[in-house]
Structure 1
Amino acid sequence: MGIGIGFGVAGFPFSSVGAYHAWIDLLEEQGADSVWFSERLVSHTPTLEPMAAIGMALGRTKRLKAGMNAVIVPFRDPLVLAKECATLDFLSGGRLLPVFGAGDERAPEWRATGRDPRGRGEQADEALELMARLWSEERVTFEGKHYRYVDAAISPRPVQQPLPLWIGGSSEAAIRRTARIGTGWLAGLQTPAQVAPIVRAIREKAAEYGRAIDEDHYGAGFSYRFGSPDDPPVQRQLAGLARLPGVVDPAGLVAVGSADDIARRVEEFIAAGISKFVVRPIASDDADLMAQTTRMLEEVVPRFATARPAAAGPRA
């Protein structure tokens, strides 16, 4: 099983665009597996649009992969989204790691745009089928409830064939969606104990569909800090997590302490069936974020490097 550890951030915790570019450069230079961007289209908090951010990151680097965690399909046109993904993968030489979801009915985008979240799962299913076909077929004709295509085609196609199609979400519908059409799954804000039954359920459901998802195509994320739970940035993070719907134990969603403590959290997720990670440094400013990222790359990531072939990075 190949262990891959990528990095993400919540919002835009940088003092400037230059500081953000410096962080991307650090990930590239220090051999990070990937960088990840979250989707939040409606927000008063600065947050980058993931497709544009991925384009910048891939264009600035040569080996770093980039993914989205996760793009909400019903907010986007599937033809445009498929074309964007194909273009990003083509121009980067196959470094895109796309993850998609149907969205939470409580997300502010629904109300802000006057859309009804009901039926979003069915719409996402149709869109994902369309995108997968557009990435691999010469012409696509499709007749569905939400979309009708006749001889649609895109070019250039993705370098990766098939292009990874990971799914986010833990509902029964998300489990079915992953098992039926996904090539991988990425958890949300969940502990190892919460993730383990989802991984099992996806494997069982995939078998019912006559499919199998690769063992190392299950991912999860957590925030971390080399330091103390009493550090002000940690306390702010825990307070923010406590305000989120459905979060019962904010402390269970972060790993704080020594390199051993953080590595132990990675191992707990691996025991739950996870092999791909999006870790988010908890920091107070630009310098602290760079230091936290560097320590993770130097003190924790190498412990898991032997779990994958030396000649090639993990393929999501």
Structure 2
Amino acid sequence: MLKIRIGFGLVNYPFEDGRGYFRWVEMLERAGVDSVWQSDRLISTDNYLESLSALAALAGCTERIKFGMNAIVAPLRDPLVLAKQCATIDYLSNGRLLPMFGVGYPKAAEWGATGRSSDHRGSIANEMFELIDRLWREEKVTYEGKYFQYRDATIAPRPVQQPLPLWIGGNSQAAIKRTARLGTGWIGGIASPDDVRTVIAGIKAEAARLGRHIDDDHYGTSLAYRIGSRDDDAVVNSPFVKRTGIGETLDLDPLFCIGSSADVIDRLRRYIDAGASKFVLFPIAAGEQDTVEQTRRIIEEVKPVIEN
């Protein structure tokens, strides 16, 4: 039987300062929420915490809750530094890190701003994932790739989790093949239940072809939600909704769930039927208090029904 678990992320940073963020995380910790997830945007005029720095802080101020990146754009990072950062955070948190990686949006601002091309980001990521996984497990890693060449590289301390999971995101055919070959789990972005079903089936089929198996409990997806109305200012004026390109028409289905708590439960059950068991919920909210209230509604009205 699948272990259904709900985590939370933020579509925008709604807090006036760092204390508001820590209060929100403390709320999740007290409520028994499974996990908290940090989005990765290195260049933005909006406030976005740097993912690994934020997770390192959470390792020191929480005791139970797990935390992950949703998702680190791997080709913008150095694989050795990234492997070392993840291992350190997992070590300091006594095994609570959920590393999740993606290849990034090809037109994201980070590429042009740093003078990089996004053309080969998938191939670069493939080499990075091979390297990172080996660095977490092996000593004296030697690697000869097109983009990376390592000789006798070792990191210590190692992650507490052995093996440290390697979650991969993305809905494309390339992402399906990448997850099946290199990943230990998959979490989708904002996608419909039908799309999630298709991707999960594709990963399972490709993994079987390669002689691999990914645990049935290691499939999940993300969902932006609001318990309220489509006419709420938080929806109409949401930068996140506008970034999707559908904000003007408010044709939000099937990518978002806006309605009652029962509507959110129904949507999550459709994802469960599609094969997902891990969820990252993103409240569409206007400011700190609204974010806290939207989170509270899920904790009190949705989580007990879905997880039990």
Q: Is the 8 A contact 1:166 1:184 kept in 2?
A: yes
Deviations along 1:151-194, one digit per CA (max 9) or x if unpaired, are: 10001100111101011111221111100010001111211122
Question: Which of 302, 305, 311 lines up with 2:304 in the alignment?
Answer: 302
Q: What is residue 281 of structure 1 aligned with on the other side?
A: 283
- CA separation of 1:159 and 1:281: change in aligned 2, threshold 3 A: same
**Residue 271 of structure 1, CA deviation:** 1.0
Q: Is the 8 A contact 1:242 1:249 kept in 2?
A: no
**Residue 253 of structure 1, CA deviation:** 2.0
**Residue 249 of structure 1, CA deviation:** 4.6
Structure 2: runs of 5+ lacking an equivalent: none
Q: Is the 8 A contact 1:241 1:250 kept in 2?
A: no
Q: Is the 8 A contact 2:83 2:135 kept in 1?
A: yes
Q: Secondary structure at the match of 1:135?
A: helix
The number of residue pairs the alignment matches comes to 305
- CA separation of 1:302 and 1:239: change in aligned 2, threshold 3 A: closer
Q: What is residue 252 of structure 1 aligned with on the other side?
A: 254
C-alpha separation in 1, matches of 2:121 and 2:250: 26
Q: Is the 8 A contact 1:58 1:64 kept in 2?
A: no
C-alpha separation in 2, matches of 1:241 and 1:112: 19
Q: Secondary structure at the match of 2:237?
A: helix
**Residue 257 of structure 1, CA deviation:** 2.1
Q: What is residue 156 of structure 1 aligned with on the other side?
A: 157
C-alpha separation in 2, matches of 1:260 and 1:241: 27
**Residue 11 of structure 1, CA deviation:** 2.6
Q: Is the 8 A contact 1:224 1:256 kept in 2?
A: yes
**Residue 241 of structure 1, CA deviation:** 4.3
Q: What is residue 132 of structure 2 aligned with on the other side?
A: 131
Q: What is residue 185 of structure 2 aligned with on the other side?
A: 184
**Residue 138 of structure 1, CA deviation:** 1.8
Q: What is residue 245 of structure 2 aligned with on the other side?
A: 243
Letter in 2 for 1:250: L
Alignment of 1:65 with 2:66, yes or no, is yes
Alignment of 1:116 with 2:108, yes or no, is no
Q: What is residue 312 of structure 1 aligned with on the other side?
A: none
Q: What is residue 74 of structure 1 aligned with on the other side?
A: 75
- CA separation of 1:76 and 1:248: change in aligned 2, threshold 3 A: farther
Q: Is the 8 A contact 1:185 1:217 kept in 2?
A: yes
> Runs in 1 of length 4+ with deviation above 4 angstroms?
none
Map 1:2-13 to 2 at 5 A: 2-13=3-14
C-alpha separation in 2, matches of 1:105 and 1:260: 36
Q: Secondary structure at the match of 1:223?
A: strand
- CA separation of 1:157 and 1:235: change in aligned 2, threshold 3 A: same
Task: Compare 221-230 and 87-96 and name the one that shifted more.
Answer: 221-230
Q: Is the 8 A contact 2:68 2:99 kept in 1?
A: yes
Structure 1: runs of 5+ lacking an equivalent: 307-316
- CA separation of 1:241 and 1:110: change in aligned 2, threshold 3 A: closer
Q: Secondary structure at the match of 1:6?
A: strand
- CA separation of 1:35 and 1:115: change in aligned 2, threshold 3 A: same
C-alpha separation in 1, matches of 2:153 and 2:64: 32
Letter in 1 for 2:263: D
Q: Is the 8 A contact 2:11 2:283 kept in 1?
A: no
**Residue 58 of structure 1, CA deviation:** 2.1
Q: Secondary structure at the match of 1:205?
A: helix
**Residue 304 of structure 1, CA deviation:** 2.3
Identity of aligned residues (%): 50
- CA separation of 1:185 and 1:28: change in aligned 2, threshold 3 A: same
C-alpha separation in 2, matches of 1:15 and 1:287: 11
Letter in 1 for 2:113: A
Q: Is the 8 A contact 1:7 1:34 kept in 2?
A: yes
Q: Is the 8 A contact 1:5 1:277 kept in 2?
A: yes
Deviations along 1:218-246, one digit per CA (max 9) or x if unpaired, are: 1111112222222111222375144279x
Q: What is residue 293 of structure 1 aligned with on the other side?
A: 295
The TM-score, its normalising length taken from structure 1, stands at 0.93
- CA separation of 1:77 and 1:239: change in aligned 2, threshold 3 A: closer
- CA separation of 1:239 and 1:141: change in aligned 2, threshold 3 A: closer
Q: Is the 8 A contact 2:29 2:64 kept in 1?
A: yes
Map 1:162-181 to 2 at 5 A: 162-181=163-182
C-alpha separation in 2, matches of 1:166 and 1:304: 22
Q: What is residue 27 of structure 1 aligned with on the other side?
A: 28
C-alpha separation in 1, matches of 2:259 and 2:175: 33
C-alpha separation in 2, matches of 1:44 and 1:117: 21
Q: Secondary structure at the match of 2:253?
A: helix
Q: Is the 8 A contact 2:38 2:69 kept in 1?
A: yes
The TM-score, its normalising length taken from structure 2, stands at 0.95
Q: Secondary structure at the match of 2:224?
A: strand
